[in-house]
Amino acid sequence: MTTTQLLPKSIPTRSNQIIKRFNNLEDAVYLFNRMIRKKPLPLLLNFTNLLTEIVKMKRYTTAISLINKLLSSQITVDACMMNIAINCYSHLGQIDLGFAVYGSIVKLGHKPLTSTYNTLLKGLVLEGRVLEAEILFKKLIKRKICEPNEVTYGTVMNGLCKGGNTKMSVRLLRFMEERGCKPSEQVYSMIIDSLCKDRRVDDALKLLTEMVEKRVLPNVVTYNSLIDGLCGLGRWDEAKQMVLEMDRRKISPDARTFNIIVDAFCKEGMVEDARSVVSVMVERGEKPDVVTYSALIDGYCLRGQMKEAVKVFDAMVEDRIEPNIVTFNSLINGYCKRSNIDGAMKVFAEITRRKLEPTVSTYSSMLYGLFKAGRSIDALKLFEHMQSVGVTPNFITYSVLLDGLCKNRRVNEALSLFRIIINNGIHPNVALYTVLIDGCCKNGKLGVGLDLFSELCSRGLRPNVVTYNAMINGLCNQGFIEEAKELVVKMEKNGVFPNGVTYNIVLQGVLKFKTFEDVLLHLKEMDARGFSVDASSFYLLLRSIPEKEQDSNFTDLMIKLVPQDLLKSKSQPVK
DNA sequence: GTAGGGTTAG
């Protein structure tokens, strides 16, 4: 059977032959200009087909100017052509102009189609104007302007999911079912992805079960989202089960599936495992791309193995894959972590040379590196600069900035900057408070630290284990061991469980300010709770405990509580 | 409709 036989009879095949004659924009425009001069004029349908092709090439501005030419010609355009125009404006981020076209459709006496509304909704969503999309959608239903179809629901749901309103999206799913519109696998996938991004993977899995029960088959997109969600929560076994389930359903993994797994391994510090996944990927005929290489580079950067990271970078260039800003951000971050600010600056210069735009992450990493190098003046200058070029700082930028100021003994500046940030209408999060509490505690301002701690609580924020540890450390360093221990009890009551860091902080406090008996007591508690003594506490222990006290009782505890490798390497000199 | 980068505690 030929292609021609597959086409519905109403579509003239000639127009399809016409549009196959070009494969670039110039040819298409040339053809358009020839068509518009023809006498008699070709059917509108031919123009519609031609413009559809131009839109497929993402040449929205061109498409709009051609439609304008049509409007000033003898040809009467229809609602369908207007839809193309609205669609172009929505892709150009100018949906208000799209609404103007909509107005002219109505004025010309054409009836807007459901697809017209779908396109308008999509335009609003693309511009992040989800609330307006919601209002328009409700209007369509309430005033019975048109019956929403699958695409209408999908578009609004997409907006809701992107805007972080998964809950409303799920409600819309139920609503569309009630109205007798069967959700497709695409709609389910969207919500499953949104749930996974909210870390609500169990709810996502429930929805997977539900869709299967309703005979809607999940596809590779559905599984990719679930695998990513599970990996993000460290639920490796279940992620593996998902891959096996895909296999049972005869759904083959695609490049994204491999990239998700590669990235998950890299984030766990298992770059070698990630590399073997890449080998499998290549064997299965999927080509590693910029995302794959960037994940590996990031993996090495996170481990501070810059030489390895650069090797992968070179291999990527060799493979003729263009690095992008994300690739460079990883390298900058890696150099900054290794306190190699010069290396980071070279990468930063390379970004500019390649005419790439630094992002908020680029600047956040650079700020981190500059503060780490003790160059707080340069850091503050860069902070000014990023804002002057229109890059808006986010919470991570602020926490790097406040932390950097504190670590460079400029706590007062950090505190006043913090107040400025709040006055600018930004609601501080727990991380910002934590950074400041830690900074105060380490710079002899325990009182201010305690004030900040109660302030964050009164704001309705919940301190996390890092916040508590910073506070407990502050108390311990000033000798308030009992108060520190009380805080450990309190955090547990509040549902935040102390971790190994908490116990080691208290241990070091007890070692500095309490008796040997107290130390033994605390060590026993650590043992009971299954926490071990880490390296810095261990060295402090060896220095603080007089040799006469290092009896068999003590040694037994040490053997139990101190990791083997620490004992082997460092315990010899003591004897 | 699905994948990539940045911060805080000993």
A561 close to A526: Cβ distance less than 8 angstroms: yes
Q: State the helix-helix crossing angle for A500-513 and A481-493, rounded to 10 degrees.
A: 160
Per the rule left: phi > 0, alpha: psi between -120 and 50, beta: everything else, A320 is left
| Dihedral pair phi/psi, residue A378, rounded to 5° | -60, -40
What is the mean pLDDT of the segment spanning A231-260? 93
Find which nucleotide's C1' atom is closest to A155's CA.
B1
Measure, in angstroms, how far nucleotide B4 C1' is from residue A180 CA: 39
Whether the pLDDT of residue A15 is over 60: the answer is no
Cβ within 7 Å of strand B: which of A 128-157?
none
Residue A568: band (very low, low, confident or very high) from pLDDT cuts 50, 70, 90: low
Whether the pLDDT of residue A102 is over 50: the answer is yes
pLDDT at A574: 37
Whether the pLDDT of residue A14 is over 60: the answer is no
Whether the pLDDT of residue A9 is over 60: the answer is no
Angstrom distances, CA of residue A49 to CA of A53, A83, A214, A370, A560: 6, 13, 37, 56, 76
Angstrom distances, CA of residue A476 to CA of A159, A163, A173, A512: 49, 43, 53, 9
Share of chain A above pLDDT 70, in %: 94
What is the mean pLDDT of the segment spanning A225-238? 93
Structure tokens at A279: 């080998």
Greater confidence (A222 vs A72) lies with: A222
Residue A569: band (very low, low, confident or very high) from pLDDT cuts 50, 70, 90: low
The answer to whether A504 CB is within 7 Å of strand B is: yes
A262 close to A295: Cβ distance less than 8 angstroms: yes
The answer to whether A488 CB is within 7 Å of strand B is: no
Cβ within 7 Å of strand B: which of A 196-235?
197, 219-222, 224-225, 228
Measure, in angstroms, how far nucleotide B6 C1' is from residue A313 CA: 20
What is the mean pLDDT of the segment spanning A477-503? 95
What is the mean pLDDT of the segment spanning A347-368? 94
Q: What would the pLDDT profile of A445-475 be if each residue is shown by its tens digit?
A: 999 999 999 999 999 999 999 999 999 999 9
Whether the pLDDT of residue A242 is over 90: the answer is yes
Least confident range from A158-172, A327-341, A480-494, A541-555: namely A541-555
Share of chain A above pLDDT 90, in %: 68
Whether the pLDDT of residue A8 is over 80: the answer is no
d(C-alpha A100, C-alpha A404), whole Å: 50
Residue A108: band (very low, low, confident or very high) from pLDDT cuts 50, 70, 90: confident
Q: What is the mean pLDDT of chain A?
A: 89
Report CA dihedral (A114, A117, A118, A121) to the nearest 10 degrees: -160
What is the mean pLDDT of the segment spanning A267-278? 93
A532 close to A504: Cβ distance less than 8 angstroms: no
The answer to whether A263 CB is within 7 Å of strand B is: yes
Least confident range from A2-6, A82-86, A416-420: namely A2-6
What is the mean pLDDT of the segment spanning A390-394? 91
A563 close to A532: Cβ distance less than 8 angstroms: yes
